[in-house]
Amino acid sequence: MKRTKAKKYRSEDSERVYWSVHDSAAEIDWSKAKRVVFPNLKPTYSSIPIRMPSILIEELKSLANRRDIPYQSLMKIFLSDKVKEELAKKY
């Protein structure tokens, strides 16, 4: 596929309109694209309601108190560790 030369846009709005109706495959050589990491971006958080037995919450609070961190932070650590562990498993 023949690539066209990169366009210059008058504004971000005009560029947004252009890309809403054109395919980037004709203008961008995606084979030369490189994966990038943005280490300074803050993660997006979502609040979720979760029902847990009271005794489990009390035990989490006790463990968190020993580590001198909020119990919700400890829950995030535990969940993150378990998710990483599960994702690493070969099924």
- Report residue 15 as tokens: 């560029």
Q: Domain range holding 80? A: 49-91
Q: 29 lies in a domain?
A: no
Q: 30 lies in a domain?
A: no
Q: 8 lies in a domain?
A: no
Query: Is the whole model's pTM more than 0.85, yes or no?
Result: no
> What would the pLDDT profile of 37-63 be if each residue is shown by its tens digit?
888 888 888 999 999 999 999 999 999
Give the number of domains in the chain. 1
Where do the H-state alpha helices sit in 22-90? 54-67, 71-88
CA distances from 84 to 26, 40, 53, 74 (A): 39, 21, 24, 15
Q: 53 lies in a domain?
A: yes
Q: 64 lies in a domain?
A: yes
> What would the pLDDT profile of 12-37 be if each residue is shown by its tens digit?
998 898 888 888 777 778 788 888 88
